[in-house]
Amino acid sequence: MNTESVVEFLGNVPLLQKLPSSSLKKIAQVVVLKRYGKGDYVVREGQAWDGCYFIFAGEAQVTGPAEEENRSEFLLKQYDYFGHGISGHVHSADIVAMSELTCLVLPRGSCHLLETNSIWQSDKAVDQCSLVERILHLDPLELNIFRGVTLPDAPIFGKVFGGQFMGQALAAASKTVDFLKIVHSLHSYFLLVGDIDIPIIYQVHRIRDGNNFATRRVDAIQKGNIIFMLLASFQKEQQGFDHQESTMPSVPDPDTLLSLEELRDRRITDPQLPRSYRNKVATANFIPWPIEIRFCDPSNSTNQTKSPPRLRYWFRAKGKLSDDQALHRCVVAFASDLIFASISLNPHRRKGLRSAALSLDHSMWFHRPLRADDWLLFVIVSPTAYMTRGFVTGQMFNRKGELVVSLTQEALLREARPPKPSLTSKL
């Protein structure tokens, strides 16, 4: 049995799907192949624990302790496992092969590979990872259930940031599929505002598992309510047709452009901007984002200056990310919502305008492999806005000009109403 087939098999074992892909590759190198004939004992009750068994082919029957009056029996099939989490270091039941049986056994001395601090990296603690990787870290609670939190230094806008929902929900979905299958599309709906002070529970529904495709639905839950929903499709890499009609626009190299921090410092001292605006920028509570952004067309416009409904900027994650392609796509999903739907407001901005924007839905198609810690160009256009809904489309290119992601989003756009004056009695 070659390593590639072992890795592919291990990727379908539910217990292992929550692990970093690097851990699965290490496990594939140390598992031992064992075969049993029909009727053979795989392990006996009271036998010393020697590792974790994964059923590669065939079926086995588990029989409960002999002293129990009603001994429970059930079948184990392909991708099932036993021997993980045993207390007392002995097996508590007989396991008998019901057919020709093949198992992959992770030796006891290597079972530490089943426990990692991070769902993304096997050799690094969560607090040593980049900020965006920490934001996208989830705690696996049970099979298909994960917990995420809003970190104090994560982007917030008075509520849970929409990109956090997408990135964390996609991370949860990714940790329930074979790591050889990578997300190629997602569709999400924002249902209720998220509370930044309490954890978010992500429940994954395994809609379909095929040879080349898998489908997952994720519900984000707070206080018993579904507040966000994501549907994602995953595909195993295959050879096929390749063409690209979209052309990356000619824009300045990101290394020649100002960062958001530099742009902020310049705006504070720019005499062409209103003093009231400069004072507002200077006194605003500025928390750097975990995503570095550089606008291609820096201008003196403010959030109260009318401008065309389009924007182009380079972005990348701050810090080095692991090589897990699933993580990179989660980071791009996170970053895609930072400056997107608000472009629909550009033609309607004016002095004194107070507006409110709330994402309704967000869809993404991943066309090619990418790295979120290398520069990506985000080209955004809002073709229309009507009544209270604004619509935006986007394309992301890598530095070679390859189209890597296409996006759409619809958002609720409203002019904020001034608070009504309180009524006072005339008596």
pLDDT in tens, 242-268: 999 999 999 999 999 998 888 877 777
List the beta bridge partners of residue 413. Answer: 357
Tell me which of 174, 233, 322, 359 is the catalytic residue: 359
Q: Which tokens go with 23?
A: 């851990």
Residues 6+ apart with CB under 8 A from 363: 185, 186, 187, 188, 407, 408, 409
Range with the lowest mean pLDDT among 147-156, 270-279, 373-382?
A: 270-279
Cβ distance 4 to 24 under 8 Å? no
Tell me which of 178, 324, 337, 373 is the catalytic residue: 337
List the beta bridge partners of residue 147. Answer: 139, 201
Average pLDDT over residues 210-231: 97
DSSP string, 335-358: HTTTSSGGGGGGGG--TT--EEEE
List the beta bridge partners of residue 189. Answer: 229, 361
Range with the lowest mean pLDDT among 66-80, 140-154, 360-374?
A: 66-80
Using CA atoms of 332, 196, 217, 242 in order, give the dihedral in degrees to the nearest 10.
-10
Q: What is the pLDDT of residue 420?
A: 57
Q: Which tokens go with 305?
A: 């200056």
Cβ distance 126 to 137 under 8 Å? yes
Give the residue with greater pLDDT, 135 vs 357.
135
List the beta bridge partners of residue 213. Answer: 235
Helix-helix angle 21-30:3-10, to 10 degrees: 130
Cβ distance 405 to 251 under 8 Å? no
Q: What is the pLDDT of residue 67?
A: 52
Q: Is 80 a catalytic residue?
A: no
**Sign of the four-CA dihedral 236, 240, 330, 4:** positive
Q: What is the pLDDT of residue 426?
A: 42
Q: Is 337 a catalytic residue?
A: yes
Could you tell me where in the chain the CATH 2.60.120.10 domains are found? 3-114
Cβ distance 40 to 27 under 8 Å? no
Task: Give 425's pLDDT tier (boundaries 50, 70, 90).
Answer: very low
Q: Is pLDDT of 298 > 80?
A: no
Selection from 59, 52, 17 nearest residue 38 by Cα: 59
At 38 the three-state DSSP class reads coil
CATH number of 3-114: 2.60.120.10
* Averaged pLDDT of the chain: 89
Could you tell me where in the chain the CATH 3.10.129.10 domains are found? 126-236, 258-415
- How many CB atoms are closer than 10 A to CB 90? 13
Candidate CATH numbers 3.40.50.150, 3.10.129.10, 3.30.365.10, 3.30.56.10; the one for domain 126-236: 3.10.129.10
Count of CA atoms in the C-beta half-sphere (13 A) of 33: 10
Superfamily of domain 258-415, CATH level 4:
Hotdog Thioesterase (3.10.129.10)
Range with the lowest mean pLDDT among 5-14, 27-36, 39-48, 121-130?
A: 121-130
List the beta bridge partners of residue 358. Answer: 412
Q: What is the pLDDT of residue 261?
A: 83
Tell me which of 130, 336, 344, 409 is the catalytic residue: 409
Range with the lowest mean pLDDT among 93-107, 246-260, 262-276, 400-414?
A: 262-276
